[in-house]
Amino acid sequence: MNRSFPFDLRSILSAAERIRPHIAETPLIPSPVLSQRTGAVVFLKLENRQTTGSFKLRGATNKLLGLSAQERARGVVSASTGNHGLAVAHAASQLGIAATIFMPEDASPRKVAKLRTFDVELRFVPGDAVHAETTARHTADATGRVFVSPYNDPQIVAGQATVAVEMLRQQPGLDAVFVAVGGGGLIGGIGSYLKDLPDLGKLGRSTGVRVVGCLPHNSAVMLESVRAGRIVEMDGLPTLSDGTAGGIEPDAITFELCRRVVDEWLTVSEAEIAEAMRLIYRESGEVIEGAAGVAVAALLQCGQPFAGQTISVVICGGNIDEKSFREIVEMH
């Protein structure tokens, strides 16, 4: 990777050490049903068991821990469809930092309700996540506060990458990892840790793990951007994967990361996402949100080429409205 890029292996390892006291190390458990269906040895990385119900706590915690005393005193501004907001709210409350969070008006009711349990200011705006991010950035600039991006920040990406640090410690022999993609912070971080970053050889690491990006048909902005060679604007359709829905900021650092570290892209239908959510619940009792179902569905869609390999599927979150989840589970 280009040495001028503001992100390296040491920043990931530093993030892992920094955030360790503030987050949960999530389990990596075997999935007998996915292993049986694919012929691979499949593990689930259960970020739905993270303290706030998703991987987002890692990046938000890393970012806030890196603020100066003056920045902490002024407070932070962020934007989120839910999971990142929960992460910022939790980390801010733990560190005594005031936070204002902008959200789309149609954000998940469950996530909004959970956010209201924290002492943070919520502001709702029309439109998608990109509009919420733009509004939040303008507010941060106008008030002299730090904007905490959901994905467009090296410290956020480094924090998300710690999922991979844990995975390889828990299961060193991974051949591939399946990750849902929205803004690209999670897969960009995971892929960066698994690929040849600057000075990687000096640290004795070379994993050769295949990184598979997974998206819903209805909102595949990052994939279409990679295909076009530039970040594109496109209208998405409704999707169960609300955590990956919406557009990408024009200057997103994750775009170039995704171009470099993702080996393969897969898209899945809404029916496949729902079936994956049901399957994981019936097999293991894990409540997973639509974005996590995307990664499971992608593996089921293409599983046979990975027969005989050791696979990890990142279950990125479990924050879903109880009524919505019950309707999905009871569909069949």
Give the residues across from 213 on adjacent strands. Answer: 179, 265
Residues 50 and 184 in one domain: yes
Residues 284 and 144 in one domain: no
Lowest mean pLDDT among 117-131, 207-221, 270-284: 117-131
211-244 pLDDT, tens digit each: 999 999 999 999 999 999 999 988 889 999 988 9
Q: Is the pLDDT of residue 3 over 70?
A: no
- pLDDT band at 195; cut points 50, 70, 90: confident
How many domains are contained in the chain? 2
Domain end call among 82, 117, 148: 148
- pLDDT band at 7; cut points 50, 70, 90: low
Q: Where are the alpha helices (DSSP H) in 219-269?
A: 221-228, 253-261
Indicate whether 1 belongs to any domain: no
Indicate whether 2 belongs to any domain: no
Residues 196 and 275 in one domain: yes
Pairing of strands 264-268, 28-30: unpaired
Indicate whether 273 belongs to any domain: yes
Domain end call among 114, 148, 182: 148
Residues 302 and 278 in one domain: yes
Q: What pLDDT is attached to residue 6?
A: 58
Phi, psi angles (nearest 5°) of residue 24: -95, 140
- pLDDT band at 321; cut points 50, 70, 90: confident
Q: How far is CA 276 from CA 115, 237, 283, 320, in A?
A: 27, 19, 10, 14
61-71 pLDDT, tens digit each: 999 999 999 99
Q: Is the pLDDT of residue 113 over 80?
A: yes
Residue 282 exposed, middle or buried by CB count within 10 Å (0-12, 13-18, 19+): exposed
Indicate whether 4 belongs to any domain: no
Residues 42 and 61 in one domain: no
Mean pLDDT, rounded, of the chain? 91
Residues 161 and 136 in one domain: no
Residues 193 and 271 in one domain: yes
Cα–Cα distance, 153 to 321 (Å, whole number): 29
Residue 176 maps to which CATH number?
A: 3.40.50.1100
% pLDDT > 70, the chain: 94
Residues 219 and 321 in one domain: yes
CA 205 remoteness from chain centre:
24
Instruction: Find the distance separating the first CA and the last CA of the chain, reported in whole Å.
Output: 46
Identify whether the C-beta of residue 213 lies closer than 8 Å to the C-beta of residue 222. yes
Identify whether the C-beta of residue 283 lies closer than 8 Å to the C-beta of residue 300. no
Label each residue of 279-292 as H, E or C. Answer: HHHHHHCCCCCHHH
Number of neighbouring beta carbons within 10 Å of residue 237: 10
Identify whether the C-beta of residue 145 lies closer than 8 Å to the C-beta of residue 6. no
Q: Is the pLDDT of residue 204 over 50?
A: no
Contacts of the segment 204-211: beta carbons below 8 A, 24+ positions apart: 205/9, 207/168, 207/174, 208/175, 209/174, 209/175, 209/176, 209/177, 210/175, 210/176, 210/177, 210/263, 210/264, 211/176, 211/177, 211/179, 211/187, 211/261, 211/262, 211/263, 211/264
Indicate whether 124 belongs to any domain: yes
C-alpha neighbours within 13 Å on the C-beta side of residue 31:
31
Indicate whether 3 belongs to any domain: no
Residues 165 and 249 in one domain: yes
Residues 160 and 261 in one domain: yes
170 vs 104 pLDDT, higher one: 170
Domain end call among 148, 165, 182: 148
- Which residue, chain included where needed, has tokens 């998940």? 108
Lowest mean pLDDT among 3-17, 86-100, 208-222, 238-252: 3-17
Go through the chain and tell me how many residues it has: 332
Q: What pLDDT is attached to residue 201?
A: 41
Residues 307 and 229 in one domain: yes
Q: What pLDDT is attached to residue 128?
A: 74
- Which residue, chain included where needed, has tokens 């002299």? 144
Please tell me which of 12-16, 244-248, 326-330 the model is most confident about, judged by mean pLDDT: 12-16
pTM above 0.85, yes or no: yes
Give the residues across from 43 on adjacent strands. Answer: 30, 312
Residues 164 and 206 in one domain: yes
| E strand segments, the chain | 28-30, 41-46, 76-79, 99-104, 121-125, 146-148, 176-180, 210-216, 264-268, 310-315
- pLDDT band at 111; cut points 50, 70, 90: confident
Q: Is the pLDDT of residue 117 over 90?
A: yes
The residue segments making up the domain with residue 95 are 56-148
Q: What pLDDT is attached to residue 330?
A: 86
Average the pLDDT over 300-320 and give the result.
93
54 vs 205 pLDDT, higher one: 54
Contacts of 1 (CB under 8 A, 6+ apart): 7, 8, 192, 195, 196, 197, 198, 260
